Amino acid sequence: MSSFEAARAALVVDLQGRWASEAQALRLVRLAERFEGFCFAGSGLGEMDEVSPAVAQSFVSAADADGRPAGASVQRARRSAVRALYRCGRAIGVASTDPTAEIRLPSLTAMRARPLTDDEVLECRAASTWSLISSRRALAWALAEATCRSGEIPNVVSGDVDLKTGTLVIRGGGRCRPRTGKLTEWGQEQIADHLAQNPDHGSPLIYAGETARLGGLVSANAAISQVLQRAGVADEPDVRPSSVVAWAGTKVLERTGRIELVADALGLTSLDSAADFIGWTWDRGNGDG
């Protein structure tokens, strides 16, 4: 079995642990297979550590079968697949590099903070759990996936979380109203693991003691930023800590087709603010037709 095949098998298992949808997992694995074929057919490379950054860049930016240039979304999907493949390869010891580490891609939008893509969220989930000692970053990311802003994350206490329903109380603050957040399945898993070891229902879920005194908002913002940095997307001008909350808003819109429900989920009083936050335009319709 080649290193590519071993890493791809590990990727299949990894995607299940990140709660990737069946369609998303299939697409990423197929892109990983295409990358392997590209490396062998174009350069005769049969092992992962033989692949140079230049070869990875060529794959990411390659034109399609009809000769059309790859757009920003396609390039980002390819880079995500290769990064995930190499992350899994390193985890099982069949790879030691990441040829995509220095690949920079054009911005997807002109927004100040665009929603993350689904593939980027998967990589960020993996990046949030790199420490075996502290679960702080994973918990902060889980709360952000449930629409908590950096200023709201420090105020969540253990008792605010209902693991049976996968919901949590978000107290609001600043420009956001109090509301009920919905954890993703991955986020619910992270918090359940944490609460099994820390069952005190009256204490802050993440930031307590000295960390809270020094400023939980800053610490929460830093935790999300560190995850984005480790996942390799923090250098993009339209990616910020609020990008994960914007992603959560887009998932509400995908499920419901209603921008007013996005506003409710994000704690925003203005539909225009909700639309601007997730990059939704009114000419797309509101799902009522």
pLDDT tens, position by position, 40-84: 998 999 999 999 999 999 999 999 878 889 998 999 999 999 999
Global pTM?
Answer: 0.86
The owner of tokens 């891609």 is: 105
Is it the case that residue 217 has pLDDT exceeding 60? no
At 287 the pLDDT is: 40
At 285 the pLDDT is: 52
- Specify the higher pLDDT residue, 183 or 132: 183
- Specify the higher pLDDT residue, 287 or 207: 207
At 289 the pLDDT is: 35
Is it the case that residue 253 has pLDDT exceeding 80? yes
How many angstroms separate the CA atoms of 177 and 137, rounded? 24
At 52 the pLDDT is: 97
Give me the helix-helix angle, 53-61 and 22-43, nearest 10°: 120
- Specify the higher pLDDT residue, 84 or 155: 84
At 106 the pLDDT is: 81
At 207 the pLDDT is: 64
At 64 the pLDDT is: 84
Is it the case that residue 288 has pLDDT exceeding 90? no
Element (H, E) at 167: strand 167-170
How many angstroms separate the CA atoms of 244 and 128, rounded? 13
At 236 the pLDDT is: 87
At 208 the pLDDT is: 53
At 209 the pLDDT is: 45
